[in-house]
Amino acid sequence: MTPAHRAGSPREADHSPELRAAARHFGRRGFLTVTGAAAALAFSAGLPGTAHAAEADPRRITEDPFTLGVASGDPLPGSVLLWTRLAPRPYEPGSGMPRARVQVRWELAHDARFTRIVRRGQATAHPELDHSVHAEVTGLDADRVYHYRFRAGTWISPAGRTRTAPRPGARPGELRLAAVSCQAYHDGYFTAYRHLADEDLDAVFHLGDYLYEYAVNATGGARAYTDRRLPAHFNRETVTLEDYRLRYGLYKSDPDLMAAHAAHPFVVTWDDHETENNYAGGTPENDVPPEEFLLRRAAAYRAYWENQPLRAPQRPTGPDMRLYRRLRFGRLARFDILDTRQYRSDQAYGDGWQTPGPASEDPSRTMLGTTQERWLLDGWRAADTTWNVVPQQVTFARRRNVPTPAYKLSMDAWDGYPAARARLLDGAAAAGIENLVVLTGDVHVGYAFDLKADFDDPASRTVGTEIVATSVASGKDGADRPANWADITAANPHLKFYNGRRGYVTVTLTGERARADFRTVAAVTTPGAPVTTAASFVTEAGDPGLKPV
DSSP 411-442: TTSGGG-HHHHHHHHHHHHHTT--SEEEEE-S
Compute the distance between CA of residue 283 and CA of residue 274 in angstroms, rounded to an integer.
15
Secondary structure (3-state) at 155: strand
Torsion sign (Cα): 431, 437, 441, 445: positive
Closest CA to 251 of 188, 157, 342: 188
| Farthest-apart Cα atoms in the chain, separation | 69
Say if CB 141 and CB 77 are below 8 A apart.
no
Q: What is the pLDDT of residue 531?
A: 98
CA distances from 467 to 233, 364, 444, 447 (A): 37, 27, 13, 6
Pairing of strands 175-180, 117-125: unpaired
The SS3 assignment for 204 reads strand
Model pLDDT, residue 2: 32
How far, in whole angstroms, is CA 242 from its chain's centroid? 20
Residue 243, SS3 per DSSP = helix
DSSP string, 482-505: -TTHHHHHHH-TTEEEEEEEEEEE
Tell me the three state secondary structure of residue 447.
strand
* Contacts (Cβ under 8 Å, ≥6 apart) of 329: 165, 166, 172, 175, 202, 335
| CA proximity to 204, closest of 256, 252, 264 | 264
Query: What domains sit in the chain, N to C, each tagged with a CATH number?
Result: 58-163 (2.60.40.380)
Per-residue pLDDT at 52: 59
pTM for this model (two decimals): 0.93
CA distance linking residue 318 with residue 213, whole number of Å: 19
CB-CB contact of 191 with 254 (8 Å): no
Smallest CA-to-CA distance from 214 within 504, 478, 474, 469 is with 474
Residue 283 pairs with which residues in a beta bridge? Answer: 280
Sequential DSSP letters for 75-91: EETTEEEEEEE--SSTT
Q: Exposed, middle or buried: residue 135 (CB in 10 Å: 0-12, 13-18, 19+)?
A: buried
CB-based contact 264:204 (threshold 8 Å): yes
Q: Give the pairing type, strands 160-163 and 387-391.
A: unpaired
Is 205:180 a contact under the CB 8 Å cutoff? Answer: yes
Instruction: Report the distance separating Cα 97 and Cα 92, nearest Å.
Output: 10
Residue type, 287: D
Share above pLDDT 70 across residues of the chain, in percent, rounded to a whole number:
91
| Distance between CA atoms of residues 25 and 19, nearest Å | 10
Nearby residues of 59 by Cβ (< 8 Å), 6 or more positions away: 153, 154
Asked if 465 and 449 count as a contact pair (C-beta separation under 8 A), the reply is yes
* Whole-angstrom distance, CA of residue 183 vs CA of residue 417: 26
Q: Which of 262, 211, 259 is nearest to 237 (CA)?
A: 211
As beta bridge partners, residue 267 has 205
Contact 212, 186 (CB under 8 A): yes
- Print burial letters for 166-188: b (CB count within 10 Å at least 16), e (below 16): bbeeeebeebbbbbbbbbbbbbb
pLDDT of the chain, 549 residues: tens digit per residue: 333 334 333 333 344 444 444 444 444 444 445 445 444 554 445 677 654 579 999 889 999 999 999 999 999 999 999 999 999 999 999 999 999 999 999 999 999 999 999 999 999 999 999 999 999 999 999 999 999 999 999 999 999 999 999 999 999 999 999 999 999 999 999 999 999 999 999 999 999 999 999 999 999 999 999 999 999 999 999 999 999 999 999 999 999 999 999 999 999 999 999 999 999 999 999 989 999 999 999 999 999 999 999 999 999 999 999 999 999 999 999 999 999 999 999 999 999 999 999 999 999 999 999 999 999 999 999 999 999 999 999 999 999 999 999 999 999 999 999 999 999 999 999 999 989 999 999 999 999 999 999 999 999 999 999 999 999 999 999 999 999 999 999 999 999 999 999 999 999 999 999 999 999 999 999 999 999 999 999 999 999 999 999
pLDDT digits (tens, 9 = 90+) for 102-126: 999 999 999 999 999 999 999 999 9
Element (H, E) at 326: strand 325-329
Which among 150, 133, 149, 269 has a CA at the least distance from the CA of 203?
Answer: 269
Q: How many CA atoms lie within 13 A of 391 on its CB side?
A: 30
Residue 474: name the closest of 498, 505, 449, 445 by CA: 445
The candidate with the shortest Cα–Cα distance to 208, out of 283, 275, 306, 297, is: 275
Q: How far apart are CA 262 and CA 138, in angstroms?
A: 19
CA distance 479 to 497: 14
Q: How far apart are the first and last CA of the chain?
A: 52
